[in-house]
Amino acid sequence: MNKCDKCGKEFHSPESLEQHKMASHPIEESRKVLSEEQKKKIKNYSIFVVIFILVVGSIGYLVATSKTLPPVSIQGHIEVNPTSHVLKEPMKLEIQKHMLEHADGSGPPGIIINYNCEDYECESDLVENLELFSEKYPSNVYITPFKNMDAKIVLTRLNKIEILESLDEQKIDNFINRR
């Protein structure tokens, strides 16, 4: 005999029992447990989502915390010279890279003094004092603003960088004269 475990009624065939369950106990019968395959798919999907969030979050964190500084290599440079050794507008990075290779396109390696007075509080004579270095070393020193740079003053030469919090003429002279 086929007996319903919900109400105790007995039926002659399994088909009759099944029809009774669907007609008399539909709510209980409609709640089915997930199959093992469905559980596995949900688990795999959840793992994928967590890993994806971690990877995207890590990339976002690295981008947000990385410093923006001038280049120190010539990779990606273009064969163009700046209009002057003292610029009032930022020098393109590709040109900075070219000047690190050789000043004025054929001279000795260039030294670039970048400053950021938009994001940092600069003394009223800072830019003028920096510009004096291009007069003192006219063959290979460039002075240029650098928007959004994560420092007030940055000195660069090929494969070398020095970050300054304030004007330090001795450090700048030493950086320029170092070979």
User: Does residue 102 fall inside a structural domain?
Assistant: yes
- Whether the predicted pLDDT of 1 surpasses 80: no
- Assess whether 59 and 98 both reside in one domain: no
- Whether the predicted pLDDT of 77 surpasses 50: yes
User: Does residue 115 fall inside a structural domain?
Assistant: yes
Residue 58 tokens read as: 């890590």
User: What CA–CA distance (Å, rounded) separates 41 from 35?
Assistant: 10
Side chain identity at residue 160, one-letter code: K
- Assess whether 100 and 57 both reside in one domain: no
- Assess whether 100 and 46 both reside in one domain: no
Instruction: Work out how many domains the chain is built from and give that number.
Output: 2
State the CB neighbour count (10 A cutoff) for residue 38. 10
User: Does residue 82 fall inside a structural domain?
Assistant: no
User: Does residue 141 fall inside a structural domain?
Assistant: yes
- Whether the predicted pLDDT of 29 surpasses 50: no
Q: Please report which confidence band the pLDDT of residue 32 belongs to, taking 50, 70 and 90 as the band edges.
A: low
User: What CA–CA distance (Å, rounded) separates 98 from 7?
Assistant: 88
- Assess whether 97 and 60 both reside in one domain: no
User: What CA–CA distance (Å, rounded) separates 109 from 139?
Assistant: 9
Is the pTM higher than 0.75? no
In terms of C-beta distances under 8 Å and separation of at least 24 residues, what long-range contacts does 26-29 make, across chains too?
A: none
Answer for the pair 99, 137: CB distance below 8 angstroms, yes or no: no
Pairing relation of β-strands 160-164 and 10-11? unpaired
User: Does residue 77 fall inside a structural domain?
Assistant: no
- Assess whether 25 and 101 both reside in one domain: no
Q: What is the pLDDT of residue 128?
A: 96
Q: Which domain holds residue 145?
A: 93-177
pLDDT digits (tens, 9 = 90+) for 87-114: 999 999 999 999 999 887 677 899 999 9
SS3 of residue 138 by DSSP: coil
User: Does residue 18 fall inside a structural domain?
Assistant: yes
User: Does residue 51 fall inside a structural domain?
Assistant: yes
Closest CA to 167 of 129, 141, 136, 134: 129
User: What CA–CA distance (Å, rounded) separates 17 from 23?
Assistant: 10
User: Does residue 84 fall inside a structural domain?
Assistant: no
Side chain identity at residue 137, one-letter code: Y
Query: Can you give the CATH number for the domain in which 171 is found?
Result: 3.40.30
Q: What is the mean pLDDT of residues 56-65?
A: 85
- Whether the predicted pLDDT of 64 surpasses 80: no
